[in-house]
Amino acid sequence: MVITTIPAEAREQTIACHECDLLVSYPKLEPGNVVVCPRCDYVLTKKHNNAMERILAFALSGLIFLLLSSLYPFLSFSTNGHGREVTLLQSIDVLANEQQVLLALMILVVILIIPAAFLMGVLYVIGSLKYRSTLPPQGKQILRFILMLAPWSMVEIFLIGTMVSLVKIASLATITLGMSFWAYILFTVLMTLVLLHLDKVEVWQWVEDSAA
């Protein structure tokens, strides 16, 4: 169900459109409802069914697969009788050894540190709202922090870049994808699902409900 116009007597909340700044009023939403800006069709907020449970399940699973992707070989390649296995962390170390320290640091931050911090923050805040019906210590600050981190997670860009590189070097060497590679793909899918379900408006509504 898509909501674009609301009768005056039913209006309860107002939100400014992120794209065109139009103020849009809407009532209390039911699962599956979407509020769309009537001017530019930007999706302002969406109420997901069992959102808390889904977010926690996706975040916990994603964190596990992120850990697995750091422990096992990412890929192995062989050519002319010589072979080598490379882990995700070793690939970052190779860049540092090639005097690409800044690039190595950026990759470490955007594909490992930021996603891990984001998922742990989600589990900490949403888990407390779900099972204790209250914000944890420093909950608002951490919630603002993880919502700020969300746009800086570039795990899918890294994965696409890796696949493009594999296509280019496939003609030069025999490549075998390791467990870490598949774990990182699953992590990327789960991370995307967390971001899709973590609606800012709905999250702050949970915070208000816990305070009440």
Count of helices and strands (H, E) across the chain: 8, 8
- Contact between residue 87 and residue 73 where contact means Cβ atoms under 8 Å apart: yes
In percent, how much of the chain has pLDDT > 90?
24
Residue range 23-53, pLDDT digits in tens: 888 777 777 788 888 888 888 788 888 899 9
Tell me what pLDDT residue 12 has: 67
**Which of 11, 26, 46 is a domain's end point?**
46
88 vs 190, more confident: 190
Pairing of strands 2-3, 43-46: unpaired
Quick one: average pLDDT of 195-202? 88
A 10 A CB-CB count for 22 gives 14
Check whether 191 has a pLDDT greater than 60: yes
Rounded to two decimals, what is the model's pTM? 0.80
DSSP letter at 173 equals S
Task: Say if residue 12 is in the same domain as residue 96.
Answer: no
CA atoms within 13 A on the CB side of 191: 32
Task: Say if residue 84 is in the same domain as residue 14.
Answer: no
Residue range 127-166, pLDDT digits in tens: 999 998 888 999 899 999 998 888 777 777 777 777 777 7
Q: How confident is the model at residue 11 (pLDDT cuts 50, 70, 90)?
A: very low
Check whether 186 has a pLDDT greater than 90: yes
Q: 156 lies in which domain range?
A: 51-211
Task: Say if residue 95 is in the same domain as residue 162.
Answer: yes
